A and B are shown apart, each in its own frame.
Chain A
Amino acid sequence: EAGVAQSPRYKIIEKRQSVAFWCNPISGHATLYWYQQILGQGPKLLIQFQNNGVVDDSQLPKDRFSAERLKGVDSTLKIQPAKLEDSAVYLCASSFGLDLFEQYFGPGTRLTVT
Chain B
Amino acid sequence: GENVEQHPSTLSVQEGDSAVIKCTYSDSASNYFPWYKQELGKRPQLIIDIRSNVGEKKDQRIAVTLNKTAKHFSLHITETQPEDSAVYFCAEGGGNTPLVFGKGTRLSVIA
Contacts and interface: CB of A to CB of B under 8 A. Distances in A.
Contacts of B6: 42
A108 interface: yes
Q: Is the interface of A mostly helix, strand, loop or mixed?
A: loop
Interface string B77-111: 00000000000010101111011111110000000
B92 to A, nearest CB: 11
B46 A102 contact: yes
Contacts of A99: 95-96
Contacts of B100: 45
B104 A103 contact: no
Interface in B38-81: 42-46, 49, 51
B66 to A, nearest CB: 14
Nearest to A106: B43
A42 B98 contact: no
Interface string A90-111: 0100000011101111111000
Contact of A55 (B34, B89, B93, B96): B96
B101 A42 contact: yes
Contact of A43 (B31, B44, B46, B93): B44
Interface of B: 6, 31-32, 34, 42-46, 49, 51, 89, 91, 93-96, 98-104
Contacts of B45: 105
Given A41-B103, A43-B44, A102 B89 contact: no
Contact of B96 (A33, A43, A98, A106): A98
15 contacts: A40-B103, A42-B101, A42-B103, A42-B104, A43-B44, A43-B89, A44-B101, A45-B98, A45-B100, A56-B98, A98-B96, A100-B94, A100-B95, A103-B46, A105-B43
Nearest to B106: A40
B53 to A, nearest CB: 11
Nearest to A3: B43
B32 to A, nearest CB: 4
Contact of B89 (A42, A45, A104): A42
